[in-house]
Amino acid sequence: MSGKAFFIDTTVCTACRGCQIACKQWNQLPATKTHQWGSMQNPKDLSFETYKVVRFEEHMGPNNKPVWYFFPEQCRHCVEPPCKEAAEDDAPGGITIDKETGAVLYDKEKLKKVKAETVIEACPFNVPRAQKKTGYLAKCTMCVDRVHNGLLPACVKTCPTGAMNFGDRDKMVALAQKRLGEVKGRFPKATLTGIDDLRVFYLLADAPKAYYKYAKVDVLPTGMDRKMALRKIGNSLKDLSREWTMIHKLAS
């Protein structure tokens, strides 16, 4: 599979949040007003103005010592994005896949033709966010403006520990598998997510649910809901009908 991908090695993430800040800075997004809500995670969630957030989970580790799990979250740039599938009928071209990188990109004006909830609910990872006043949708862009100019995404460029990696998808898969082998002795439950169907892979030291509810979920086809399945069937039937008409015309 060609295109680009991120490999995020959470076993070396220190939650410095450099990636979070770099994302805001490059995309010229304003700071988010926050308050202490009982966690060091800040801000609390993704938003129209926050494309990347480092999630914190606290657990009791060996010898009753607390351990922290960090999960730098962003859009997973699904290879077959359910959000695109959901928007296609009402807002054709509102969500596109960049040919060079495979990045899933939103056109906020075109996407106005579809209900924001339709797109948000279609995402198995709960990523897209709408602006309250306008209904515009936003999420991580893979920094395609930088990548098309030979630069690394801002979050990757900034990461001081090597937790954030980016490059050709095949190379990222190889790096992820190599790192899994290296950490298995230290973390027997270590696992990789996303290498089959996403462009953002995580190396986790423990079960995905210990990090975040949406750290690992099924994408298509098992994650397809009834509405999307019907739409997919409908689109296939429309294609068949168009092909039948074309062949019929040619034959007559």
Q: Pattern 174-213, binding to ligand SF4, x per CB under 6 A?
A: ----------------------------------------
- What is the torsional sign of CA 125, 131, 134, 139? negative
**Closest C-alpha among 90, 127, 80 to residue 112:** 90
CB of 20 to ligand SF4, least distance (A): 7
CB-CB neighbours of 122 under 10 Å: 22
Q: Pattern 57-86, binding to ligand SF4, x per CB under 6 A?
A: ---------------x-xxxxx--xxx---
Interface region with ligand SF4, contact rule CB under 6 A, candidates 120-128, 204-212, 222-230, 232-240: 120-128
Q: Which residue, chain included where needed, has tokens 């995404």? A: 153
* All residues at 6 or more sequence positions from 192 whose CB lies less than 8 Å from its CB, including other chains: 176, 177, 180, 201, 202, 203, 204
Q: Is 142 in the site for ligand SF4 (CB under 6 A)?
A: yes
Number of residues counted as binding ligand SF4 (CB under 6 A)? 41
Token couple for 44: 């609390």
CB of 28 to ligand SF4, least distance (A): 11
Interface region with ligand SF4, contact rule CB under 6 A, candidates 34-42, 141-149, 187-195, 229-237: 141-149
Q: Which is nearer to ligand SF4, 5 or 78 (CB)?
A: 78
List C-alpha distances in Å: 246 to 218, 223, 232, 237, 243. 37, 34, 21, 14, 5
CB-CB neighbours of 190 under 10 Å: 19
Token couple for 65: 């010592």
Q: Is 13 in the site for ligand SF4 (CB under 6 A)?
A: yes
Of positions 159, 172, 176, 180, contacts ligand SF4 by CB under 6 A? 159
Of positions 87, 140, 172, 195, contacts ligand SF4 by CB under 6 A? 140
> 131-157 burial, b if ≥16 CB within 10 A, otherwise e?
eeeeebbbbbbbbbebbeeeebbbbbb
Angle made by CA atoms 206, 198, 32, in degrees to the nearest 5: 75
Of positions 46, 87, 163, 190, contacts ligand SF4 by CB under 6 A? 163
Q: Give the three-state DSSP class for 158.
A: helix
Of positions 4, 7, 11, 19, contacts ligand SF4 by CB under 6 A? 19
Q: Is 154 in the site for ligand SF4 (CB under 6 A)?
A: yes
Q: Pattern 33-62, binding to ligand SF4, x per CB under 6 A?
A: ------------------xx-x--------
Give the residues lining the site for ligand SF4 (CB under 6 A).
13-19, 22-23, 26-27, 51-52, 54, 72, 74-78, 81-83, 104, 123, 125, 127-128, 139-143, 153-155, 158-159, 161, 163-164
